[in-house]
Structure 1
Amino acid sequence: MAAAARLAVAGHGVTVFERDETYGGAVRRFERDGFRFDTGPGLLPLPAVYRDLFIKTGKQPLEDCVELVQVDPAVRHLFADGTRVDVPNASRAGTVEAVEAALGGGTGERWAQFLNRAREAWDRARRPLLEEPLWEDWRVLGERDPYPALRRSGLLRKRPPTFAEAMRHELADPRLIALVESSVLAYGLDPRTTPASAAVLPYMEQAFGTWYVRGGVRELARAVYERCVQRRVGFEFGKEVVRIVEKDGRAAGVELADGTVHEAAHVVAGADPQPLTDHPLHTPGQDAVLDTARVRPGRRTVLLALRGAREDGAAHRTVVHAPDRKAELDALAGGFGPGVTPTVTVLRPDDPALRPDDGHESVVLSAVGQEAGDPGDFTDRMVTAAERAVPGLRERLLWHEVRQHGPVPHPALAGGDARFLYPSNTTRLPGLHQVGGWSHPGGGLPHAGMSGALVAGLIVEGPDFRGSQ
């Protein structure tokens, strides 16, 4: 939809064919008995991407279409030893103070120094990995990890360190390491095999803040959809595209499941278009990158309808850390067996739109991974972990719903031999482009939105387009 709105403003006639009966992709909502839940992303980082979209596509700015609220604290971290850290929203000094007060031992200063290095990695990687089309020599981004890790003797002198190696060396305190690694783990990435450039993930949150869309993030999807409609973008729901039509060596339209064909000068795919054509779409090596990304563990979401009001002082977002970090990371690939508890994120928005009345509360739990045995047992372990963040949770529980999702695409990362990049927005079939989390610059609401801006630029300005300014 971000690409559609921009292309319509540039003068193109645009039609969106959507397999499902509604817009928004993974940004969905579940409703029951007066309760509402976001089943996709629950928070909006880096809202500047959508502010830019609304400025470029109409007179109403984003804040006139949705209500954005800064979440404060940005996140509460609960550790197995009982330690609690409340991280202020977009406050470097406040976070340094909070970390030192909770963890002591110079952790605040180590956090500050880490942020300095993470900012340097962000400055180096921001443009090629967020604001520009993927370079033709994209493998170079895999060879150069922009994170300026502190060097030590031995193995780390011979190769760039992984994220886990760098954090263990630089942060020392296991709780501070877990705090930082939670931003990586949220995408199903194992810090032990992820490049140190993943430091940009916690940096973005710290530097640009965390925002909530009043009414739920589904309201952002509604606003983008309405902007598309205002720009005369057509929508065809319940229409599955089964084939990319090719003519004279380029994409010339789409064929739907009912056999109808719609011609077009350009085709933009919001999912991997490779199954829809026999034409090889990616440069050698990029298909392998995409396949590697998709074998990561999925995400489980548990929607909780609770009786009783949200207590004073409750945090919007709480990360309840696993008691055994190594066991959790080992289970990412093979499944969570009995006794292994995942890190659980608890979202408790104080939003009347999400509950039937002030005597109830809607809560969303999420964790990365899947059970090795009974599915109900994994859900139960998630609820048990969440009890540390939600007083009296089991006694208040009216009902719950479980959603199992596939792998969550992460933002593109430099380093790691290019295994953490995604296929470019252009394909080897002229006229066919791709957007969304499984293409450059990767997953997350801001990055998916930026992919729309990149594709619109490539179509409007041509192959010489060098990215946003």
Structure 2
Amino acid sequence: MARIAVIGAGMGAMAAAARLAVAGHTVAVYERAETYGGAVGRFERDGFAFDTGPGLLHLPAVYRDLFVKTGREPLERCVELTQVDPASRHLFPDGTALALPNASRAGTVTALDAALGAGAGERWSGFLGRARDAWDRSRRPLLEEPLPADVSPYARDPYPAPRTGLLRRSARTLAEVGRRELGDARLAALLEWYALAYGFHPGTAPASAAVLPYLEQTFGTWYVAGGLRALADAVYERCRERRVEFSFGTAVTEVVERDGRAVGVALADGRVVDADHVVAGAPLPALYRERVVGRGDQDGWPRFQQGVPTGRVTVCLALRGAREEGAAHRTVVHSADREGESAALAEGRLAARPTVTVLRPDDARLRPDAEHEAVTVTATVPAAEGLWGGGAGGSAVEGFVEAVVGAAEAAVPGLRERLLWRRVRTPADTLRETGSCRVPGPALAGAGGSLLPAANPAPLPGLYFAGGWSHPGGGLAHAGMSGALVAGLIVEGAGFRGSR
């Protein structure tokens, strides 16, 4: 069987490693950091613990499939999964509060009518029907199959125009969908939040981004007990059980090429490890910047995902006092100035009044005792390195963090009085850890194909890309799919056409 060298121990890389090991290959993972999980990180202090990457799981079937295919224990025996209900609570500037149920189309219609007025649920349901059409047209080629050499068909947007009324022309952007089809500024804000949550600018994201709310509202929102880091722990342990070898604190400096093919990796300590295949699971910007695998945009190497570059500011809040009964796990506090926030994001500025997402898991493992609470607040921000190069310092950044915390007060009663301390993470931290300020989004059709990530097979034979910067793109579920695609390509060869 083949020898596989894997660069990085992120979720996509580990998903590929476990599958390849089960197929009988010898797999060794080289990670420059001292731990695994990539963006699925953890910050701990004084008995508090916070996820520093994603806090909720969508499409858990991806990881169920991984665990079924790689071992005797299914996912639910390795981690505790619970559906989050309500899936999200939304607070709008006019005082409207909306709680959306988890994975219930009828329940969502009822909730929207009750909160926003009669007819709101019907308009949203009609939109979701069109989003389902876009999902059905793009799901398999964009999630379950390797990208073909000719990606021109994916340049066309699969989101259809409404079949009735005067709106017979398809919308070009997600923001236009909201304006033309939803008939309520609060519904439009709800729609745009889904784009922001995945790192897309609503004003430039194609209408096909409608699949993002469809995905969540159809397949549900899930929480992993102990936080999403517990899922990374479980995937790592599954790799270890399948005899995948890990070397932490071990940087790869070069993919070794011989006769036009990848034949191993060179390590920072001077060693050269031979391999029949190399899987690059580390973020592509870091690999390109350090010239580990080649230079992007040259000699046929893939471009990075285009569009407005965004990252995330995350504020970890350690609070005294118990979480009140009935508090929502996830609350979105919508901006009082959507147009200003949109313009700031497009222009690479920090918004004065950002939209924020507040996570308040009722999880004893994340707090020192029942009289304390761990809260995480996130906002989508421009990812320009010049803005974040100085870390969390600087008056503009400090002012923005204060605005983020101020917005979160609407979701957390008595937040300021309860605050013990806070920890701020900006795109500067993402740059230091991954080599890019940007957080990649999932692959989307439309936009002329500019939102397609790198194909899994690299231009150099024997080298493959896995993880959020490669097909099918960013996000926890998409990273797991990427690992499955890479494993399939190596095990079955160029004829692999995806899972059936």
**Any residues of structure 2 matched to 1:41-440 within 5 Å, and which?**
41-142=54-155, 144-150=156-162, 157=169, 161-270=172-281, 271-272=283-284, 273-275=287-289, 276-277=291-292, 287-288=302-303, 290=304, 292=306, 296-336=309-349, 340-369=352-381, 373-405=395-427, 406-440=437-471
* Inter-partner Cα distance in structure 2 for 1:281 and 1:387: 43
Alignment-derived partner of residue 464 in structure 1: 495
With over 3 angstroms needed to count, the CA separation of the structure-2 counterparts of 1:299 and 1:278, relative to structure 1, is closer
Assess if the C-alpha contact under 8 Å between 1:249 and 1:429 holds in 2: yes
* Inter-partner Cα distance in structure 1 for 2:167 and 2:446: 17
Assess if the C-alpha contact under 8 Å between 1:300 and 1:367 holds in 2: yes
Assess if the C-alpha contact under 8 Å between 1:336 and 1:378 holds in 2: no
Report percent identity of matched pairs.
64
The Cα of 1:155 is off from its aligned counterpart by 11
With over 3 angstroms needed to count, the CA separation of the structure-2 counterparts of 1:284 and 1:250, relative to structure 1, is closer
The aligned amino acid for 2:410 is R
Assess if the C-alpha contact under 8 Å between 2:91 and 2:334 holds in 1: yes
With over 3 angstroms needed to count, the CA separation of the structure-2 counterparts of 1:255 and 1:123, relative to structure 1, is same
With over 3 angstroms needed to count, the CA separation of the structure-2 counterparts of 1:75 and 1:278, relative to structure 1, is closer
2:34 aligned residue (1, 18, 21):
21
* Inter-partner Cα distance in structure 2 for 1:214 and 1:352: 9
The Cα of 1:180 is off from its aligned counterpart by 1.3
The Cα of 1:249 is off from its aligned counterpart by 1.1
The Cα of 1:9 is off from its aligned counterpart by 0.3
3-state SS, counterpart of residue 302 of structure 2: helix
Normalized against structure 1, the TM-score is what? Answer: 0.95
Count the aligned residue pairs: 464
Ranges in structure 2 where 5+ consecutive residues have no aligned partner: 1-13, 388-393, 428-436
Q: After superposition, what is the alpha-carbon deviation per residue over 1:80-126, rounded to whole angstroms, capped at 9, x for unaligned?
A: 01101100000000000001100014111001111111111111100
With over 3 angstroms needed to count, the CA separation of the structure-2 counterparts of 1:283 and 1:121, relative to structure 1, is farther
The Cα of 1:165 is off from its aligned counterpart by 1.1
Normalized against structure 2, the TM-score is what? Answer: 0.89
The aligned amino acid for 2:474 is G
Alignment-derived partner of residue 391 in structure 2: none
Shift >6 Å, 4+ stretches: 151-156, 280-286
3-state SS, counterpart of residue 361 of structure 1: strand
3-state SS, counterpart of residue 446 of structure 1: helix
The aligned amino acid for 2:215 is M
The aligned amino acid for 1:399 is W
With over 3 angstroms needed to count, the CA separation of the structure-2 counterparts of 1:283 and 1:440, relative to structure 1, is farther
Assess if the C-alpha contact under 8 Å between 1:7 and 1:456 holds in 2: yes
Q: After superposition, what is the alpha-carbon deviation per residue over 1:128-155, rounded to whole angstroms, capped at 9, x for unaligned?
A: 000000021112201x211112389999
Assess if the C-alpha contact under 8 Å between 1:303 and 1:364 holds in 2: yes
Ranges in structure 1 where 5+ consecutive residues have no aligned partner: none
3-state SS, counterpart of residue 26 of structure 2: coil
3-state SS, counterpart of residue 40 of structure 1: coil
* CA RMSD, Structure 1 to Structure 2 (Å): 2.0
With over 3 angstroms needed to count, the CA separation of the structure-2 counterparts of 1:282 and 1:379, relative to structure 1, is closer
3-state SS, counterpart of residue 488 of structure 2: helix
Assess if the C-alpha contact under 8 Å between 1:282 and 1:428 holds in 2: no
* Inter-partner Cα distance in structure 2 for 1:88 and 1:182: 17
